[in-house]
Chain A
Amino acid sequence: MAIHTNLYLLVFLPAVLIIYQLVPRKARWGVLLAASYALYISFSKYLVLLLMATAAFTYAIGRWMDKIGNDCEEKQKECTDRKQKSEVKKAFQKKRVTALRVGVLVLLGILFYVNYYNFVAQNCNIFLGKIGAQLPMAKVMFPMGISFYTLEAVGYMADVYWERYPAEKNLGKLALFLSFFPQIMEGPIARYPDTSDALFAGEPLRMENLNEGFLRIIWGLFKKMVVSDRLTLLTNHIFDNYKEYHGSFIVLAAIAYTVQLYLEFSGSIDIVIGSGKFFGVTIPENFNQPFSAQSAAEFWRRWHMSLGNWFKNYVFYPITVSPMVKNWNKMARKKYGKYWAMVGTSAMALFPVWVATGVWHGAGWKYLFYGMYYFVILLLGVALEPLKEKRNKMLGIDPNAWWFKTLRILKTWVIIFTGELFFNAKNLTAGFHMFFSIFGNFHISSIWKYFPDVITAGDVWAICVGSVIVWIVGFLKENGVDVRGRILGARTRYKWGIYYLIIFAILTFGAYGTGYQPVDLIYAGF
């Protein structure tokens, strides 16, 4: 039961809302937990046990670290001077590090086994085969959402270790944070303080939340069903038969897939956020007009923001301030100067972030390439910054001029489309084949002549008009006009007029009927 299906939207969600409202306030978080596990069982069956075990394990590690902290405080009370206190703290800190390491290694170990064991074994066997050895392949079932809830659990343990908040004392409540049903399939990856208070508060249903949530859900369905699901037929056709296409068709496929992915993923996140809003839970945003970004670095601050923030908080910053990197930085500042020290430190912190971002998306060389692609582009961005400033001064370019901003946005689009071409290619070899075939036989006019007949002219119209509507709403938001806020603040008859218009558009122009298959959530597979 995925979150974009009728079963979820018309049966499951209303049923949970009714039960939630009927039970006493104190027990409402229990309803949300039961609903979350019920939804999880509907698509992962007995693998719900792994989700439960992860919650119990994360809970135990958190409580263990808290206990060590309390024991430390008790011991410090017996100390007579600051030096003694500091030594006691150091000794207990070692124990807390051990607890954190155990927690992180176990959870990431499971994630690694589920996602990458067969991939690693397959690649190792290429070499092991030469000496007559073989690593066995494993029959692994993929637990839905494991990439998302594992990162939430690791983030929680790290925050408790850093004493940003105390460990949760109620196992059920922690389990709810890790498994809240709208978020379990595609995120966003929340930090504990983002949603915990609202999840456990048991706020009654409120009309303003229901309104906001409803608008968000139908907007998400519009993006997914009117535009994204129609584009799936076109992109699947070209990516599956990539050897038959070249030049302008590959560019078209790369652009179409990027639009499809954005509208599918952001549309699903709209449904997630809308569902959470019904219960008064504000789930963190995951997108912020990513195609308005003027650089690749800015793009990643606007696209899949919760994943970017997770890597920034739990990988990038800890590496930046780790003793090894700091010592290198100090040495490099003296020996090579501030500029090279900064570039080197950036490389050391960015490299693991982008290896991890690549492999987080799945097992395959293309994902690793995707990560390395952005690593190189982001590092070049840092390294070339002084040169860019010099160029602007020399040529008298105003970086805030509209034409310069537009050029930067267009350059960022090229970077994004190229990245998504490799991301969605069948494999890395196919990605390179498609990329190099762009430069042969590039004729825009051939698009009209040989357009694949997998979608009709009507589909093209629906895609174009739908995309333009989404773009206008995003453009207005970027320029300070909150369209959603204005609709919600409008008189009831206007508000409902717009609701009906969106629902009418989904029912009339949504991808239904013969030839169409319900399109799965793309990020639920990661």
Chain B
Amino acid sequence: MEELLEILRDIDDSVDYEKETALIDDHILDSFGIITLISEIEEHFDIEVDAAEMTPENFNSAQAMWKMIQRLQEN
């Protein structure tokens, strides 16, 4: 989880990712931020994020992203 938080802080360090739960809904993380994020998490966690995963529910909070990463690692 700490590794994910570091990736997120690298994209924008002004956000409190441990508390924020509407990263997509409130446009805190925009489409271009998502592009960087996907590249980083695929590289760091050795997963493949496909189009079906691209929902606000999976990216609205660091916790939701972490759950998705763990699920994709198990598959």
A317 to B31, CA, bound (A): 8
Size bin of chain A's contact surface: 20 to 34
A residues near B32, Cβ cutoff 8 Å: 297, 342, 346, 382
Q: Tell me which of A297, A313, A321, A342 contacts B50 (CB under 8 A).
A: A321
Given A162-B51, A162-B52, A326-B42, A320 and B34 contact (CB-CB distance below 8 Å): yes
In Å, the complex CA distance between A458 and B27 comes to 42
Does A163 touch B at the CB level, under 8 Å?
yes
Asked if B38 CB lies within 8 Å of chain A CBs, one says yes
Interface residues of B in 32-53 (CB under 8 A from A): 32, 34-36, 38-39, 42-43, 49-53
- A313 x B39 contact (CB < 8 A): no
A427 to B: closest C-beta gap in Å = 32
Query: Which residues of B lie under 8 Å from residue A163 when comparing CB positions?
Result: 52
The answer on a CB contact under 8 Å between B30 and A318 is: no
List B contacts of A382 (CB < 8 A). Answer: 32
Contact B39 A333 (CB under 8 A): yes
Contact present for A313 and B54 (CB under 8 Å)? yes
A320-B35 contact, Cβ under 8 Å, with A297-B30, A301-B27, A326-B42: yes
Please, which residues of chain B bring their CB within 8 A of the CB of A338? 36, 39
CB-based nearest A residue for B51: A318
Q: Chain A's nearest CB lies how many Å from the CB of B46?
A: 12
Q: Interface on chain B toward A: helix, strand, loop, or mixed SS?
A: helix
Q: Which residues of B contact A54 (CB under 8 A)?
A: none
**Which of A322, A330, A349 is close to B35, meaning CB atoms less than 8 Å apart?**
A349
B9, chain A: closest CB distance, angstroms:
15
Chain B residue with the shortest CB-CB distance to A158: B51
Please pick, from B36, B49, B53, the residue contacting A342 in the complex, using a CB distance under 8 A: B36
Residues A321 and B31 in contact in the complex (CB < 8 Å), given A326-B42, A338-B36: no
B44-66 Cβ-contact flags toward A at 8 Å (1 or 0): 00000111111100000000000
Digit string of B16-36 for contact with A (CB within 8 Å is 1, else 0)? Answer: 000000000001001110111
Roughly how many angstroms separate A321 CA and B51 CA in the complex, as a whole number? 6
**B54 CB to closest chain A CB, in angstroms?**
4
- Asked if B36 and A317 make an inter-chain contact with CB atoms under 8 angstroms apart, the answer reads no
18 contacts across the A-B interface (CB closer than 8 A)? A162-B52, A163-B52, A164-B52, A164-B55, A297-B30, A298-B27, A312-B31, A313-B54, A316-B31, A318-B51, A321-B38, A321-B50, A321-B51, A321-B54, A333-B43, A342-B32, A349-B35, A382-B32
Known: A342-B36, A346-B35. 14 other contacts (CB 8 A): A162-B52, A163-B52, A316-B31, A317-B31, A320-B54, A321-B51, A321-B53, A321-B54, A326-B42, A333-B39, A333-B43, A338-B39, A341-B39, A342-B35
Interface residue ranges, A against B (CB under 8 Å): 162-164, 297-298, 301, 312-313, 316-318, 320-322, 326, 329-330, 333, 338, 341-342, 345-346, 349, 382
